[in-house]
Amino acid sequence: MTRQERALRTRRMILEAAAEMFNELGYDATTISGLIDRIQLTRGGLYFHFTSKEELARGVLEEAISLDGFVPQAFKLQEWADLALLLAHRLPREPVLSAGIRLSVDIKAREMFGTRWPDWTEMGNEILTEAKDRGELLPHVDPCETARLFVGAWTGVHLLTEVLPDGDLSKEVSGLLALVLPNVACAGVLAKLDTSPYRAERLLVAAGVPQPS
């Protein structure tokens, strides 16, 4: 492993530990000292990568938009569904992704760092706009409004699923797509979409993304 590879791994390890702490304790209660205890790194080793809690939060939010497993599909609406399903599959397994949402719903952190919701909304809007141009959408659908409402709906379904006994985010998001898509997709396209809760795992394996056991 080169020095650069080692540095990248350390950076990633720090970011994941910080994300776990944001998730467990919230932004306010997370401290640099607590992080150092957890990762058994010297203060100097940490400061080489991140010099403050603010920088760690920014690092988490920078990585909160991630397209692992996403590949172009015949229908743009399948791509829209895939984004939702991939994130639902990965979020409970990747603390950096869940910490991104945790920071977005925390008043203090949100004021300091903003949220990534506008980026997700814009990405959905672009996909739905192209879906509209290709004739995949029902005529009444407004891509921008639909993209925005869906990012909100996805986020809230995630928050509720956290408190459900045995809550399974992939299953809930699959249900959300089944609730919304029949009023978005034209019938022929709808019949060809795969919104199964297992789809994301298949996409990730096909893309060669290592799966945690």
Q: Tell me which long-range contacts 144-152 makes (C-beta under 8 A, separation of at least 24).
A: 146/184, 147/121, 147/122, 147/123, 148/121, 148/124, 150/84, 150/124, 150/180, 151/117, 151/120, 151/121, 151/124, 152/117
Residue 185 pairs in a beta bridge with: 137
Nearest distance in Å: CB 67, a second copy? 21
Query: For a second copy, which is the closer residue by CB, 8 or 25?
Result: 25
Nearest distance in Å: CB 104, a second copy? 8
Nearest distance in Å: CB 156, a second copy? 2
Query: For a second copy, which is the closer residue by CB, 49 or 102?
Result: 102
Q: How far apart are alpha carbons 174 and 82 in whole angstroms? A: 10
Q: Can you give the binding site for a second copy, defined by CB under 8 A?
A: 23-26, 28-29, 102, 104-108, 110, 114-115, 117-118, 121, 145-146, 148-149, 151-161, 163-164, 172, 175-176, 179-180, 182-184
* Degrees to nearest 5, angle at CA 71 with 66 and 75: 120
Query: For a second copy, which is the closer residue by CB, 41 or 184?
Result: 184
Query: For a second copy, which is the closer residue by CB, 78 or 121?
Result: 121
Nearest distance in Å: CB 43, a second copy? 26
Q: How many CB atoms lie within 10 A of CB 91?
A: 19
